[in-house]
Structure 1
C-alpha cells in the first residue's frame, strides 16, 4: 500500500505535535501525517516531570544567566549561538503553549510559579506540578486532533527511510494490521525521541529504542556525539523494573537530600552546589559512593520537607510513594542513576535540516548543539518547541516548490518470529550497557564495546531480514544505536588518553 502526503512526522511527542500545530497555523492546506509507534501519548514527553526552563523574572534573572548556566552544564561543548537563540526564543514559545491551552502552576500572587533545578542559578522552571510532560502531551493531542489537515496513525512502526537520488522521499513501515506501507512525502521529519532502552536501567518508556538514529545511520545521514548520554541521578532503584520511576530534581530544589548507606550527605564534599550540581556531577558522585560502599543504591531523603507542601507540589511522586507503602515522612527512597537523555543525535542546523535533502530531525533524536555533553535540566522541552517553530516557518516557505515523489515501492512481507529468541539479544545488550560502559574505566568501556560488536555480528548472521517484523527491526535498532554510542565513546576516550599521556617538548628559550 502507498500513501502520499506533503509532510510525514515520525513521532508524537512535544516536537512532533507542536510542529504539526505550527505548520497548520502557517498553512492549513498542508497535508500532514503524524505517526506514533504505539499509542499517541507514549513518548518521553509524557513522562517529563520537571518543566520548561524560561527566563520569566527579568528582575532577578536574565538571558545571560540562563545562557551561562547552559554553557557551564554543557562543559564548553555547546554551540553558543544555538544556546542564545533557544533561550531568547523561550518567552514567545511559552506564550504560544499557554494560548494552546497548556496550564502551568501559579504562585500566591497569580504569576507563574518558578521552580529551581540542578545547574540553574535562578528559579526559572515553569511547570505543572510534577507532571509537566503529561500536561503538554495531553493538551497538544487535543489541539492537533482538531486540525482538519492532520491525519494520525497509531501503532505504526517505521522501519526505514526511502532514499532516491540522494533525497529522502518518504518512509516505509508496518501499520497496526501488519501491512507494509510506503509513505511518499515532500519532506520527512524524524521526531522519534531518544534511545534510553539501550541501557539496563532507564527513565525512558519502552518506545525509546533509537529508531530514528538507526534509520538515519542506515541512510548514511550524519550523526554526532552519541556518546554524550545523560544519566539522571535520582531514579527509583527497583531492579525488577526496566523503566525506572523518575524523581524530578525539582524536589532537590525544594530541599531534598541524597544520603549514602550510613545516612550521611556526601554531595557537598564533591561540589559547592551539593544536591543542586548538574546531573553529570551528581550521577558520578552517587556511582562513586556506591562503589566505595559496595552498595546497589543511594537514598533520597524527603523527611525534612513539609508534607502538605510536598503533596501539593509533587503529587505524582507522593502517589508513587503511597503505592509502594513508603512513608516519605519517615522512610528513605532508594535511588540510583538511570539513562535519561540522549545529548547527541542526528546532526542538524538551526532549523532541523539534516545532511540528507528533504529529511529533518527535531527533538531528542537531533543534535542541535544546545546541550553540549550534558543537558541543563528542563532545556529539552524548550528545545523541542523552539525547533518545531523554526522548522515550521522554513517548511511553510518551501513546500509549494517540492513535488510529491513517487518512489519505487518494494513491499516487505511480514513474517512471524520467535520472540523469546529475539529477547535473548535484548537482554544481553542491557547486561552490557550500563553507567560503567560509558563513564567507568577504560577497560569496562572496551569490554562493552567488543561484547556489543559480537552481539551485532551474531544478530546479523541469525536474522538477515530485520525489516520483516517490527520487534526484530526494533531490536536491531537498539544494537546498532548501542554500538554507535560505544564506538564514539571509544574514539573519544582513546584520544583523551593519548593527549593526557603525550609529553610536550620544552619551550624554546633564546
Structure 2
C-alpha cells in the first residue's frame, strides 16, 4: 500500500455538489472524487421534485428571494439568498450545456415545463419528470468519468481530516474493498458528504446520509450552525416494503389532497394554503392528526388526474406504488412524514470556505444561510450547483499559492484488533435512531431533549471505547459520525428557547422577536481570516 495518494483537490462525496465542483475546476488540476458506495447512490440520485430557478418571464429574482426568506422563518441570510437565486438561471444553463434533459412544455417546446411546490408563489421548479436528481447525477457522473483530470474512486469512506499547521491538507480514507485506511494529501479538500437524516428512525434518505462531513469538520475545529432544523418531508410512502421511498412534493403542487383515513381533507384547518403550505407546517399537521387519531398514516390522493397525466409527470411514483399494489390513478397513497433534509451544517461563506484554511463544504453538509429555519422546496439542488461553482472558482484562483502538503504519518492500526462484537454497533445504531425519533422529532419538549442528551452522552462513551480498540469499519465510522452530529443537533435544539420553522417545542410555542442563528464553536476552533 502506498504511503500516500497526492492530488491537487480532494472531493469527498460524489453527489450534485461534488460532481459539479469537480467539473468546474481547471483541467490541469488533478482531482480525486470519492464516493462512499458506487456512483449514483447518494441523495442527489433520488431527488424527485426538481430545482428551483427564476426562468419564467412572469417570475423574478426578488419574488424567489422573498419566498425563500418567508419559508426560512426570519433566519435566512439575505446575502446568501440573493447570491443563490441570482445565479439560478446561469446554473440551469450550465446543466443544460452538460446535457441534462429537462422537461419542456408540450405546447411550447422552446420553454421549460415548470411546476409549483409548497412555499413558492410562482411555477419555478425545473425538472426531468419526477427523477430530476437522477437525470443530473447520471449526466454529471458520465462527464466526470470522461474527464482526464478526475479520478472517481468508489467504496471510500472518510475517517478524519488531516490538519497540519492550521490548514486542512488531506484525509484518512477507508478503502472498503481492501479494508485498509489510505492517506490522501491535497492542497484543497472539499466536503460534499450530504446531511445526517439517517439519525432518525424514519427517513427518505439513502443509507449513506450519516453526517460524515459535519462530524469530521467539527472534530477538525470548524463551527456548525442551526442543526436543530431537521426537515421532515411530509409524504414518504408508508408500506413495509417501501423502506425510504419519497413521494414527491410536486404531486401536491399538481393538486394532490391530503386525506384522513375516512377520506376527509384536513390541511385547510392548519393553513390557508392547505397542501401548498411549507413543509414544516404540512409535516406537523400530519403528525398531529396521526397522534390525535392513533393512526399509522394519512393518505395523499391525486386520482382525480388522468392516468396519462400521472404516468407522464410521475412515472417513478406511479411505478413504485404499482409494484407494491397501489394504483395511484384509482386510490390514494398511504404516507407518513420522515426525516428528509439537514438545514444546518458546517458554517461557510459564499465561496464555500469553512473556518479551516484549505477546507470547503458544499451542499447539504454546509450551512450557507440560504435555508434559515426551514428549507423551501427544491432550493437544495440549486444551492449545490451555485456553491460548487463558487467554491471551484475560489480554489482555482488560490490553489497555486497554497502550501504543498507536508509528509504525514500513515494510518496506524497496530494497536487495534478485529472486532468480534459487531452486535454493539447495530444495537447502538438502533438505539440512537429510535431515541432521536422519539425525543428530537417533529414536536419537541425540554424533557424529551434532556432525555436525548443523557442517552447520547452514554452512547458516545461506548462508541469512543469501541473505536479505540477495534479496526475501523464502514458501520463503525457511520455510527461514530452520526452520534457526533446527533449530539450537536440536541445541543442546538436545547439552546433554542422558542419555536421557529422546523424547530417546534411545546415549552416555547411562540417565536422570539429577535431571530438568531444557533452557532456551536468546537473546543479546538480553527477560525481563519
Per the alignment, residue 16 of structure 1 pairs with 18
Per the alignment, residue 62 of structure 1 pairs with 60
Deviates more, 1:436-445 or 1:283-292: 436-445
Per the alignment, residue 225 of structure 1 pairs with 226
Higher helix proportion: 1
1:156-235 maps to which residues of 2 (within 5 A)?
A: 156-175=156-175, 176-235=177-236
Aligned-pair CA distance for 1:396: 1.1
Deviations 1:407-445 (A, max 9, x none): 321323385333322101111111112175243241223
Aligned-pair CA distance for 1:467: 6.5
Report if aligned partners of 2:65, 2:85 keep a CA contact under 8 Å in 1.
yes
Matched residue of 1:493: which SS? Answer: coil
Report if aligned partners of 2:232, 2:283 keep a CA contact under 8 Å in 1.
yes
The 1-side partners of 2:40 and 2:393 are apart by: 25
Among 486, 500, 507, the residue aligned to 2:490: 486
Report if aligned partners of 1:4, 1:404 keep a CA contact under 8 Å in 2.
no
Pick closer, same or farther for the CA change 1:467–1:77 going to 2, 3 Å.
Answer: farther
Pick closer, same or farther for the CA change 1:384–1:374 going to 2, 3 Å.
Answer: same
The 1-side partners of 2:406 and 2:190 are apart by: 18
The 2-side partners of 1:113 and 1:173 are apart by: 42
Aligned-pair CA distance for 1:499: 11
Report if aligned partners of 2:69, 2:76 keep a CA contact under 8 Å in 1.
yes
Matched residue of 1:468: which SS? Answer: coil
The 2-side partners of 1:106 and 1:235 are apart by: 27
The 2-side partners of 1:227 and 1:314 are apart by: 32
Report if aligned partners of 1:466, 1:476 keep a CA contact under 8 Å in 2.
no
Pick closer, same or farther for the CA change 1:464–1:240 going to 2, 3 Å.
Answer: farther
Pick closer, same or farther for the CA change 1:440–1:500 going to 2, 3 Å.
Answer: closer
Q: TM-score, normalised by structure 2?
A: 0.91
The 1-side partners of 2:257 and 2:187 are apart by: 51
> Is residue 374 of structure 2 the alignment partner of residue 374 of structure 1?
yes
1:35-50 maps to which residues of 2 (within 5 A)?
A: 35-50=34-49
Per the alignment, residue 469 of structure 1 pairs with 473
The 2-side partners of 1:192 and 1:209 are apart by: 9
In structure 1, stretches of 5+ residues that fail to align are 503-510
Q: TM-score, normalised by structure 1?
A: 0.94
The 1-side partners of 2:509 and 2:338 are apart by: 30
The 2-side partners of 1:149 and 1:406 are apart by: 23
Per the alignment, residue 449 of structure 1 pairs with 453
Pick closer, same or farther for the CA change 1:154–1:462 going to 2, 3 Å.
Answer: closer
Among 52, 60, 81, the residue aligned to 1:83: 81
Among 424, 427, 444, the residue aligned to 2:427: 424
The 2-side partners of 1:288 and 1:355 are apart by: 40
Per the alignment, residue 33 of structure 1 pairs with 32
Per the alignment, residue 508 of structure 1 pairs with none
Aligned-pair CA distance for 1:269: 1.1
The 2-side partners of 1:431 and 1:317 are apart by: 28
Structure 1 moving runs of 4+ over 4 Å: 494-502
Report if aligned partners of 1:236, 1:333 keep a CA contact under 8 Å in 2.
yes
Deviates more, 1:89-98 or 1:243-252: 243-252
The 2-side partners of 1:78 and 1:327 are apart by: 40
Deviates more, 1:431-440 or 1:105-114: 431-440
Aligned-pair CA distance for 1:449: 2.5
Aligned-pair CA distance for 1:501: 12
Aligned-pair CA distance for 1:306: 1.4
What is the aligned length? 497
Pick closer, same or farther for the CA change 1:471–1:274 going to 2, 3 Å.
Answer: same
Aligned-pair CA distance for 1:239: 5.0
The 1-side partners of 2:363 and 2:113 are apart by: 25
The 2-side partners of 1:467 and 1:81 are apart by: 45
Per the alignment, residue 292 of structure 2 pairs with 292
Deviations 1:253-308 (A, max 9, x none): 11111011221111011111100100000000100111111112111112212111
The 2-side partners of 1:300 and 1:435 are apart by: 24
RMSD: 1.9
Matched residue of 1:181: which SS? Answer: strand
> Is residue 100 of structure 2 the alignment partner of residue 102 of structure 1?
yes
The 2-side partners of 1:293 and 1:145 are apart by: 51
Report if aligned partners of 2:257, 2:301 keep a CA contact under 8 Å in 1.
yes
